[in-house]
Amino acid sequence: MSGQGSEKNIMTKTQELNDSVFFAWTRVSRRSEQLAKFFNLIYVRYDRWGQSKFSLACSLIFNFAKTFFWVIFNRPKFIFTFQAHPFVTIAAKLGTWVTRKGIVIPDLHTAAYTDHFTGIQGVLGKWIWKKCPLILVHNDESKEFLGKTIHELKDKLYVLEDALPEFHSINTAINSNEIKCVLISRFAPDEPIQAFLEAVSEIENCQFYVTGNYAKATFDLSKYPNDKIIFTGFISDDEYLNLLQSSDMISILTTREMTLLSGGYEALSLEKPVILSNTKTLRNYFGNSAVYTNDTSGGIRRAIKTMISELHARQGIVLELKKEKIDDWQEKADHLIQLINRL
């Protein structure tokens, strides 16, 4: 989950794309909403139905048809698609072939070239990307991977990270009696949550909070001390934001490469020092503002102790990085508009 209800876009809108649309087939996509708002795009979101294979198949067919006919009837100039699987981009592209108007620009989620990169979805994804003149990816590592894997895409890929959200208030005071650390989690398979819990059980004078739906845990949570570790479960956006604001440091962990985590953007915007997995992608973005770990219990424990000892020093580095990333995103977004208008 994220603090979407309590944030706004901190970027300065300098140019717009009129008569254009952003399609997202998902319950929530903060990135898609941000880009649509920044570029003045119509934002069209279609949800999924349930979790069964049958309901997902039905929603896929229905969303495909709605997207296809929306493009035909509205004839947008530029069409952005939030792509985890290829079908949203294919539906939009088919619509432009019928109308002979419109340029499709996929915005590739990491799942598009990891989870859905093999089988029929992989074949369709690679085919439709080659038909698009410009493709957005979220980090340099994704651009490098796709450019090497699919040579035809090399000159079409453009890196645009997520814009930092802006929150109404920021609290950078450090708790004097007991350090407070939040692990932002979804209890997803790529998150080494069990290693984190084993690590923090032995750390003194620190209170730990773990967000996300703990019912999805595949191991026994009851063996971890409940006076030291609090599992928040589902909380509202405001409660989530208050939890992050009141923390001294934030941890976001993943074993997956080519992934920039939304919790990391939230932490940076709130000017909170972070403990991150030691991936190339995260290192390239957060630099020396973060402490990195190898995702073992011992590595996580050492990283937390290091962060505790360096909290004050890290805050200044985090603030400078935040300023740098705001300026960098604005420059990239402005350049992207120029590229699109030349298509």
Q: Which of residues 160, 194, 229 is at a domain's end?
A: 160
Residues 152 and 216 in one domain: no
Those residues whose C-beta lies under 8 Å from the C-beta of residue 23, and which sit 6 or more positions away, are 44, 45, 46, 67, 70, 79, 80, 81, 82, 88, 92
DSSP assigned state of 212: B
Are 274 and 303 a contacting pair, CB within 8 Å?
no
Residues 142 and 215 in one domain: no
Report yes or no on 331 lying in a domain: no
Residues 199 and 152 in one domain: no
Those residues whose C-beta lies under 8 Å from the C-beta of residue 252, and which sit 6 or more positions away, are 183, 184, 261, 263, 264, 267, 274, 275, 276, 277
pTM of the complete model: 0.91
CA 319, CA 273: separation in Å to the nearest integer?
9
* Position 48 confidence tier, pLDDT thresholds 50, 70, 90: confident
State residue 167's pLDDT score.
85
Q: Which of residues 160, 181, 202 is at a domain's end?
A: 160
Counting residues of the chain whose pLDDT is more than 90, the rounded percentage is 85
Report yes or no on 315 lying in a domain: yes
Residues 156 and 252 in one domain: no
Residues 110 and 141 in one domain: yes
Residue 338 φ/ψ, nearest 5 degrees = -65, -40
Report yes or no on 226 lying in a domain: yes
Report yes or no on 332 lying in a domain: no
Report yes or no on 340 lying in a domain: no
For the chain, count helices (H), then strands (E): 11, 14
Counting residues of the chain whose pLDDT is more than 70, the rounded percentage is 96
Q: Tell the residue number behind the tokens 């990270």, with chain if given.
A: 161
Residues 155 and 193 in one domain: no
Residues 93 and 227 in one domain: no
Residues 13 and 111 in one domain: yes
Residues 141 and 265 in one domain: no
State residue 279's pLDDT score.
97
State residue 310's pLDDT score.
95
Residues 116 and 248 in one domain: no
- Mean pLDDT on 214-218: 95
CA 204, CA 202: separation in Å to the nearest integer?
6
Report yes or no on 333 lying in a domain: no
The pLDDT tens digits of the residues spanning 240-250 come to 999 999 999 99
State residue 259's pLDDT score.
94
Report yes or no on 217 lying in a domain: yes
User: 157 pairs with which residues across the strands?
Assistant: 135
Counting the structural domains of the chain, the total is 2
State residue 50's pLDDT score.
79
The overall average pLDDT reported for the chain is 93
Range with top average pLDDT, 2-6, 16-20, 147-151: 147-151
State residue 176's pLDDT score.
72
Show the domain range for 91.
Answer: 4-160
- CATH number of the domain that 121 lies in? 3.40.50.2000
> What one-letter code names the amino acid at 265?
Y
State residue 265's pLDDT score.
97
Those residues whose C-beta lies under 8 Å from the C-beta of residue 188, and which sit 6 or more positions away, are none
CA 306, CA 251: separation in Å to the nearest integer?
13
- Mean pLDDT on 5-34: 78
Residues 90 and 233 in one domain: no
State residue 12's pLDDT score.
61
Half-sphere exposure of 192 (CA within 13 A, CB side): 23
Report yes or no on 339 lying in a domain: no
Those residues whose C-beta lies under 8 Å from the C-beta of residue 206, and which sit 6 or more positions away, are 178, 179, 180, 181, 200, 228, 304, 308
* Position 4 confidence tier, pLDDT thresholds 50, 70, 90: very low
Residues 32 and 65 in one domain: yes
Q: Which of residues 160, 182, 209 is at a domain's end?
A: 160
